[in-house]
Amino acid sequence: MPLYKTLNPNTFTTVKIWKITETYDELAKPVKLRKVSEERLKGMKSELHQRGFLSVRHLLAEFGYADEDLFYDDNGKPHLKDGKHISITHSFEFSAVIVSNNAVGIDIEKQREKIKVIAHKFVDYEFDYLEKDADDYINKLTVVWCIKESLYKLFATPGMLFREHFLVIPFMLHDSETVAWIDYKGQKLHFNTQFLEFEGFTCSYATT
């Protein structure tokens, strides 16, 4: 399938989402990879992850980039050679890339019941406003996770913990946006975050 969705949160930021319906061969055929990327692809045990990896290269092409334009730092954070900021995510049959003039982070997650079991590992303050018996509890938990993951990708600092260092301000699903904070080693940083739901998935992105 071609590009699934394009979003423009502001004049200098673009989000592109891909729905992965193609086979491995269909995705791989038009993509040119550097040797290091080829080795990384071969090392992936799951074809699902391989297809996610390749779909990201198709998204890069949608932005006008090639695999050789992308590199990773020691913390695993992706960068573009032209200096623009980038964040990448994929989950099951969806992948997404955000490119901006400013620091950004993005995450996609499938909405699943099992998130309730691990909620205590990434939720603290948010339990004050999340209603465990509400019909939208799983959806809201997934939004909280996606926002915190987006912030983690944006900040890319080892030692940060979702439960202790990230706070998501109360929101309604129809708002499609909220404010989040990082409180870490004396720093209190404010971020605008946006989110959307589609086909049983949640995507969130944080911008500065």
Of 171, 205, 166, 158, give the one whose Cα is nearest residue 187: 166
Split at pLDDT 50, 70, 90, the class of 158 is confident
- Does residue 1 register a pLDDT over 70? no
- What is the domain range of residue 152? 107-207
> Over the stretch 51-110, which tens digit does the pLDDT of each residue have?
999 999 999 999 999 999 999 999 889 999 999 999 999 999 999 999 999 999 999 999
Mean pLDDT (whole number) for 163-192:
94
pLDDT at position 122: 97
For the segment 184-204, the average pLDDT, to the nearest whole number, is 95
| pLDDT band at residue 208 under the 50/70/90 scheme | confident
Confidence of residue 2 (pLDDT cuts 50, 70, 90): confident
139 in the same domain as 76: no
Cβ pair 21, 55 in contact under 8 A: no
Strand partners, 88: 97
Band the pLDDT of 161: cuts 50, 70, 90.
very high
Which pLDDT belongs to residue 187?
87
Same domain, yes or no, for 92 and 115? no
Q: Is 201 in a helix, a strand, or coil?
A: strand
Question: Do 115 and 92 lie in a common domain?
Answer: no
Q: Are residue 129 and residue 68 in the same domain, yes or no? A: no
pLDDT digits (tens, 9 = 90+) for 111-142: 999 999 999 999 999 999 999 999 999 999 99
Q: Which of 77, 102, 127 is the last residue of a domain?
A: 102
35: amino acid identity, one letter: K
Distance CA 197, CA 106 (A): 14
CB 107 within 8 A of CB 138: no
**Is the same domain home to 61 and 132?**
no
Note if the pTM is more than 0.85. Answer: yes
Could you give the number of structural domains in the chain? 2
| End residue of a domain, out of 69, 84, 102 | 102
Do 123 and 87 share a domain, yes or no? no
Asked whether the beta carbons of 163 and 184 are under 8 A apart, the reply is no
Which tokens is 207 given? Answer: 């911008």
